[in-house]
Amino acid sequence: MKLPAYLFSLLLIQSVAFAAADFSNTALLPPIKSWSGTSEKLIQDQSNPWQTPVEAMALTDTPDYQTSIEYLQKLVESEPMFHLTSLGKSDQNRDLWMLIASRDGASTPKQLAANHKPTLLVQAGIHSGEIDGKDAGLMLLRDISKGGKMALLDKVNMLFIPIFNLDGHERRSENNRVNQRGPIHMGWRTNSLNLNLNRDYTKADTLEMQYLLQAINQWEPDLYFDIHVTDGEDYQYDITYGFNADYADSPNISRWLSSNLRPQVDQALKENGHLGGPLVFGVDPQDFAKGIVGWTASPRFSNGYGDVRHLPTVLVENHSLKPYKRRVLGTYVFLEQSLKTLAAEGDALKKAIKKDQQAHPAEQVLSWSSDREHPEKMDFYGIDYTKKQDSITGIHYVEWNGLSKIYKELPVYWSRIPQEKVKVPDAYWIPAQYQEVIAKIKLHGIQYTTLKKQQLVKVEELKA
């Protein structure tokens, strides 16, 4: 996510008060209320031989790549249900590991498909400073294997990528995300070539994305989570998440996510002391009462890519201003309940996927604009703030005060008006010399036919 300009200005101005040697971002962040929740019972102390690295650090910091993978390998070696596979190596020669968790011990795509269970793919650390999913996933897998939660895999499989942006993960610093409350050490946003992986789903320029798309083709997950952390606005929710709505490319999938997944996940979060909410993008960063934007993601992002591919995809954005412990525990609850929901409602999801795959619209929407005339309304659990002006620059900014504020019937402006549309052709004719294009088509799992002999075909040529 992108750091809002008004918050960046505030942080830049105030940061001069801190020396680099003893920098701490705590004084820069808004005040927060103390928190406790039922989910704290999930934390294991040092008496448990399978205590995860993050628990050993009291959920204040996150382990490096080597420590994280060594723990995962140790867990896999002790558990026949788990297997590890390397999807490939990063530009700095690190293995991109994926764990396969299956009650019958499946270790190949063919074996996994043979058990006819729905499969959840969980991906953490595409922006490696936003690493909550890694530590939550390690705790959950430990409890599935060693903590009496093996039944979670009775009717569902799980694929887990603990660190997607491997090289960025190792560019660790206490100063990488000054707007985020933990962990102490955070990775870098982009990969070692300074490419943003969460803008690369369609282009697939990076090795990491190419490996991921190959894995999606081979393992065929039924549900995909991309776990992030937010960047700016303050509110009461600690776990926010969303997906493209039912006016976009996968309406049946979207309705399943809205009607089946969201209510059950939100309830589980509430029962464990957390608050689930929608993705939050303020219409006006200086006036939150103006409402929020209902975002329709393009396929350069995970949730937009999943929408056009008919792969149920949820973008999870944990709230950066909540402490790391609270975010990790909330993510654990989110994942655990999602496994339960997928196990119970997986058949309905598979039917929704098939319906969307079989649809053949005459037109394809390329971009959407906001519907400002017909907003939806919601009671939004926000945080109060005051508006201030910097005495030096004259810039106006918002200062959050930590006090709860409920916005009754806050307008939500969904981006649901088609802005650009094109007619969908019967097929695209790609000359054989464009091997790079053909390779990308393969990566995206798009069906194609190779002609064995010359043919005369009447086509409409695209011209730039």
At residue 396, the pLDDT reads 92
At residue 102, the pLDDT reads 99
Mean pLDDT score, 333-347: 99
pLDDT of 349 higher than 80: yes
User: Mind spelling out the 3-state secondary structure of 17-29?
Assistant: HCCHHHCCCHHHC
pLDDT of 175 higher than 80: yes
Using alpha carbons only, what angle is made at residue 160 by residues 156 and 163, rounded to the nearest 5 degrees?
A: 170
**How many other CB atoms are there within 10 angstroms of residue 146's CB atom?**
16
pLDDT (tens digit, 9 = 90+) per residue, 71-110? 999 999 999 999 999 999 999 999 999 999 999 999 999 9
pLDDT (tens digit, 9 = 90+) per residue, 268-301? 999 999 999 999 999 998 899 999 999 999 999 9
d(CA 238, CA 49): 30
The most distant pair of C-alpha atoms in the chain lies apart, rounded to whole Å, by 74
At residue 461, the pLDDT reads 85
Mean pLDDT score, 356-383: 96
pLDDT (tens digit, 9 = 90+) per residue, 111-160? 999 999 999 999 999 999 999 999 999 999 999 999 999 999 999 999 99
At residue 15, the pLDDT reads 37
Q: What is the DSSP letter of 426?
A: S
Mean pLDDT score, 57-67: 98
| pTM for the predicted model, two decimal places | 0.94
d(CA 52, CA 59): 10
Q: How confident is the model at residue 219 (pLDDT cuts 50, 70, 90)?
A: very high
Q: What percent of the chain has pLDDT over 70?
A: 95
pLDDT of 435 higher than 90: yes
At residue 26, the pLDDT reads 82
Identify residue 400 by its one-letter amino acid code: W
At residue 2, the pLDDT reads 52
d(CA 272, CA 270): 5
- Name the residue ranges covered by the structural domains of the chain: 5-369
d(CA 30, CA 319): 13
Fold for the domain defined by 5-369? Aminopeptidase (3.40.630)
Which of the two residues, 459 and 350, has the higher pLDDT score? Answer: 350
Q: What is the mean pLDDT of the chain?
A: 94
pLDDT (tens digit, 9 = 90+) per residue, 420-432? 999 999 899 998 9
| Radius of gyration (C-alpha) of the chain in whole angstroms | 23
